[in-house]
């Protein structure tokens, strides 16, 4: 079946002729893949602001562990909001939005396959994520005190997952079926490949979470026995918002890094196959996450016991790291070129990629049982590293493909500056959590933790990091809105054609 889409220029004419309502209508009924991608990216940016705000509030409360500024009952909702928004409000929709906007262009297709399905996916996700946030504000969500709001949270989360699944199916179908005639799957650009792998991983893992969600929702609405009612939500669904599942959400981010290195080196990637294998290796994490079990490595018992514990641990947690290391190493290998010319978008991509790798390494350390990091803020640090790292890479992608999507460019200095500042903010926000984790600071708690060491200092530094990241996000949004609305129009892509540095 062939999907016929109106060219985006027709939508622009309709927008110009029919005022504000017409413009909103044109956006909400669009079948233009660039617009759908931009809708995902724009809405995810708003949830990103909410996520960073929540993280800053939680950090602020942790500075003085003896007293609380906010209501203690709100803390459960804030922690749930932080985890839910990081995964389903920021990481997945940002990466999926960029995939929807860019992947069809890369494979030589004029349109995304099943564009209305992708648009339906956006609507479901936007409505679902709004319901999730509304329910959390109304004392719902995991551990929430209002039963109806807990039900609303579960409904919202189901809509979010269905929406993301619908959009992921469109990406998979586009890369697999709409390539230019004669283009083999091995010939597609690295980002298109990573979009395919990332979206396929979503298609294979989100339904498992959805199935569990159905059980939890039915149980919560009727009996509240089998799945521990509101407190059981994170126990049963927490895996979908933590590592290694989040590795799957950021696969396209690694593809962006692999895509930008040859653009800097001004030559083709000499080992494309290696890059593809590296990206594919990250998806091994899906085998671990769908088991819904934490695969810890325990250095106890006989040699066979150790081996039994090590093999699944290594398979599901170390192999994805190997994938990222391979891609990073090959990116650096490409940079060994005489024609190298640094472009601004590469800076946040490289730094963000490093943050993602740090999160993966942190997760590997956390799952060594003798490190005693389970139940500490160490895991929170890993989530901050991976989510903020993904945002940095997304910023670089928006800058790099901006000319193709908006027809205008972001200023190089702003791209590099915000990227570098965002990197500093990420380290400030997440590294103290790693250190406090070793000092045994309890996770999901803002008070009564007492350990030897400057607890207030770690939490103050982390809060400053979140606040700085919030400023970076605001600066990035302001720069993007200004540049893409009123900036100078450009033809082609000056980052690739050599016109910009």
Partner 1 sequence: MTAAADRVLPAGPVTAARHPLFIATGAVVAAGTMLMFGMLAVWFKFRDASPLRVGRNNKMIHDWLPADLKIPEVATNTLAITMVIAAIMGQWAVYSATRKDAQHTTLALFITGVIGVAAVNAQVAIYKQMGAVLADGPYQTMFYAITGTMLVLICTGIAFSLVAAFRVLGGRIADRAVVTAHAMYWYFLSTAFISLWFVVYVQK
**Tokens 């597609």 belong to which residue?**
188
Q: Which one of residues 86, 90, 159, 169 is an interface residue with partner 1 (CB under 8 A)?
A: 169
Where does this chain touch partner 1 (CB under 8 A) — which range of 37-45, 70-78, 103-111, 307-315? 103-111
Three-state SS at 432:
helix
SS (H, E, C) 63-105: HCCCCCCCCCCHHHHHHHHHHHHHHHHHHHHHHHHHHHHHHHH
Q: Which is nearer to partner 1, 20 or 222 (CB)?
A: 222
> Closest distance between partner 1 and the C-beta of residue 3, in Å?
7
Using CB under 8 A as the binding rule, whether residue 361 contacts partner 1 is answered as: no
Where does this chain touch partner 1 (CB under 8 A) — which range of 76-84, 199-207, 313-321, 492-500? 199-207
**Tokens 């160490």 belong to which residue?**
378
> Closest distance between partner 1 and the C-beta of residue 205, in Å?
7
271-290 residues near partner 1, rule: CB under 8 A? 290
Euclidean distance between CA atoms 272 and 287, whole angstroms: 25
Where does this chain touch partner 1 (CB under 8 A) — which range of 35-43, 164-172, 272-280, 405-413? 164-172
Using CB under 8 A as the binding rule, whether residue 106 contacts partner 1 is answered as: no
Using CB under 8 A as the binding rule, whether residue 226 contacts partner 1 is answered as: yes
Q: Which one of residues 47, 51, 114, 484 is an interface residue with partner 1 (CB under 8 A)?
A: 114
Using CB under 8 A as the binding rule, whether residue 43 contacts partner 1 is answered as: no
Q: Helical H runs in 336-490?
A: 346-366, 378-406, 412-438, 455-486
Under 8 Å between Cβ of 281 and 326: yes
Q: Which one of residues 110, 308, 341, 413 is an interface residue with partner 1 (CB under 8 A)?
A: 110
Using CB under 8 A as the binding rule, whether residue 235 contacts partner 1 is answered as: no
For the record, the structure tokens of 397 come out as 């992608």
Start-to-end CA distance of the chain, whole Å, equals 43
Residues 6+ apart with CB under 8 A from 263: 343, 346, 400, 495, 496
Q: Which is nearer to partner 1, 184 or 448 (CB)?
A: 184
Q: Which is nearer to partner 1, 15 or 212 (CB)?
A: 212
Cα dihedral sign, 68-70-71-73: negative
Q: Which is nearer to partner 1, 100 or 470 (CB)?
A: 100
Under 8 Å between Cβ of 84 and 172: no
Q: Which is nearer to partner 1, 205 or 246 (CB)?
A: 205
Using CB under 8 A as the binding rule, whether residue 8 contacts partner 1 is answered as: no
Euclidean distance between CA atoms 170 and 491, whole angstroms: 28
Where does this chain touch partner 1 (CB under 8 A) — which range of 48-56, 75-83, 217-225, 452-460? 217-225
Under 8 Å between Cβ of 362 and 434: yes
Q: How many residues bind partner 1 (CB under 8 A)?
A: 43
Where does this chain touch partner 1 (CB under 8 A) — which range of 30-38, 205-213, 269-277, 390-398? 205-213
Q: Which one of residues 77, 106, 139, 170 is an interface residue with partner 1 (CB under 8 A)?
A: 170
Using CB under 8 A as the binding rule, whether residue 16 contacts partner 1 is answered as: no
SS (H, E, C) 452-489: CCCHHHHHHHHHHHHHHHHHHHHHHHHHHHHHHHHCCE
Using CB under 8 A as the binding rule, whether residue 108 contacts partner 1 is answered as: yes
How would you label 281-303 residue by residue, b for 16+ Cβ within 10 Å and e otherwise? bbbbbbbbbbeeebbbbeeeeee
Q: Which one of residues 66, 67, 222, 304 is an interface residue with partner 1 (CB under 8 A)?
A: 222
Using CB under 8 A as the binding rule, whether residue 178 contacts partner 1 is answered as: yes
Cα dihedral sign, 39-41-42-47: positive
Q: Which one of residues 46, 74, 123, 176 is an interface residue with partner 1 (CB under 8 A)?
A: 176
Q: Which one of residues 223, 370, 456, 501 is an interface residue with partner 1 (CB under 8 A)?
A: 223
Residues at the site binding partner 1, with contacts judged by CB under 8 A? 1-3, 108-110, 113-114, 117, 165, 168-170, 172-174, 176-181, 200, 203-212, 214-215, 218-219, 222-223, 225-226, 290, 292
């Amino acid at each position: 079946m062939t999907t016929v889409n109106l060219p985006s220029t027709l939508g622009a004419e309709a927008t110009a002729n029919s005022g504000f309502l017409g413009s909103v209508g044109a956006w909400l009924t669009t079948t233009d893949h660039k617009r759908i991608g931009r809708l995902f990216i724009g809405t995810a940016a708003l949830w990103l602001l909410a996520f960073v705000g929540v993280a800053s509030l939680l950090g602020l409360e942790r500075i003085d562990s003896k007293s609380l500024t906010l209501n203690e009952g709100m803390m459960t909702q804030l922690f749930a909001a932080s985890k839910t928004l990081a995964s389903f409000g920021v990481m997945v929709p940002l990466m999926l939005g960029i995939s929807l906007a860019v992947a069809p262009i890369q494979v030589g297709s004029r349109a995304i396959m099943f564009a209305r399905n992708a648009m339906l996916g956006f609507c479901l996700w936007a409505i679902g994520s709004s319901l999730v946030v509304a329910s959390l504000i109304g004392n719902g969500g995991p551990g929430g005190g209002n039963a109806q709001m807990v039900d609303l949270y579960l409904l919202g989360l189901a809509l979010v997952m269905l929406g993301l699944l619908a959009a992921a199916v469109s990406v998979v179908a586009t890369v697999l079926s709409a390539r230019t005639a004669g283009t083999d799957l091995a010939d597609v650009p690295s980002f298109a490949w990573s979009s395919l792998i990332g979206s396929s991983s979503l298609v294979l893992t989100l339904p498992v979470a959805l199935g569990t969600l159905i059980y939890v929702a039915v149980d919560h609405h009727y009996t509240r026995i089998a799945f521990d009612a509101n407190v059981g939500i994170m126990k049963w669904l927490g895996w979908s918002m933590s590592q290694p599942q989040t590795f799957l959400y950021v696969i396209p981010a690694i593809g962006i890094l692999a895509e930008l290195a040859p653009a800097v080196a001004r030559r083709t990637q000499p080992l494309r196959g290696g890059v593809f294998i590296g990206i594919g290796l990250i998806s091994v994490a899906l085998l671990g996450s769908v088991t819904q079990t934490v695969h810890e490595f325990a250095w106890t018992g006989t040699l066979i016991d150790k081996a039994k514990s090590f093999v699944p641990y290594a398979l599901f947690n170390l192999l994805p790291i190997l994938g990222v290391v391979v891609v990073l190493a090959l990116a650096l290998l490409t940079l060994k070129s005489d024609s190298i010319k640094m472009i601004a978008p590469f800076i946040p991509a490289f730094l963000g990629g490093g943050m993602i790798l740090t999160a993966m390494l942190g997760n590997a350390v956390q799952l060594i049982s003798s490190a005693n990091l389970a139940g500490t803020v160490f895991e929170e640090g890993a989530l901050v590293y991976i989510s903020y790292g993904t945002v940095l890479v997304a910023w670089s992608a928006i800058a790099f493909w901006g000319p193709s999507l908006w027809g205008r460019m972001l200023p190089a200095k702003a791209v590099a500056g915000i990227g570098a500042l965002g990197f500093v903010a990420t380290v400030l926000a997440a590294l103290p959590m790693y250190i406090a984790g070793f000092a045994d600071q309890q996770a999901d708690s803002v008070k009564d933790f007492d350990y030897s060491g400057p607890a207030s200092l770690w939490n103050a530094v982390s809060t400053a990091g979140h606040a700085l990241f919030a400023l970076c996000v605001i600066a990035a949004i302001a720069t993007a809105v200004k540049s893409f609305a009123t900036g100078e129009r450009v033809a082609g892509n000056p980052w690739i054609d050599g016109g910009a540095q």
